[in-house]
Amino acid sequence: MLSKKLEILLVEDNPVFVKLLGHAFKEFFELPYQFRHLIDGESAVRFLNSYTRKGPANRKNLPAFVLLDLNLPGKNGMEVLSEVRSSVFFDGMPVLILSSSEEQEEMDKCLRIGAQAFYVKPIAYDGLEQLVKELQGFSRNLLSKA
């Protein structure tokens, strides 16, 4: 049994998508979790870098995983992903891409840089249900390795 909540860092600037995803998580995600939500890439990098200032022991407090939108204001998701993957401090912290893009080249680039997965944002609520169930499976896999 999970003793603490999974912290999921959601970096997404679309408030409608955030609200819909939150509802889908409440309805379909069976593990204890909490979202930390940020709306732009600069905030995400600052937030994650705050862990590095507290030293290597703080790695255990990193989010269980990051859900990162690619199309963010300012620093985009690809830039955030590149910065995160350039630091060994974040090795092992899964970054999962959420994007409205279905371009194979973009998907491949994200995976090459170090994203664990690339999900196309669903346009219907049943697609959100499927996404949340996939994320739950991903989370269970993470927990079984912990």
User: For 35-88, how does the pLDDT look when each residue is reduced to its tens digit (9 = 90+)?
Assistant: 999 999 999 999 999 999 888 888 889 999 999 999 999 999 999 999 999 999
Map residue 32 onto helix, strand or coil: coil
**C-alpha to C-alpha distance for 12 and 86, rounded to whole angstroms:** 21
Q: pTM for this one? A: 0.94
User: For 79-113, how does the pLDDT look when each residue is reduced to its tens digit (9 = 90+)?
Assistant: 999 999 999 999 999 999 999 999 999 999 999 99
pLDDT of residue 3: 56
Instruction: Answer whether residue 1 shows pLDDT above 50.
Output: no
Domain residue spans in the chain? Answer: 6-145
Query: Which CATH fold would you assign to the domain 6-145?
Result: Rossmann fold (3.40.50)
Mean pLDDT (whole number) for 26-43? 96
**C-alpha to C-alpha distance for 133 and 124, rounded to whole angstroms:** 15
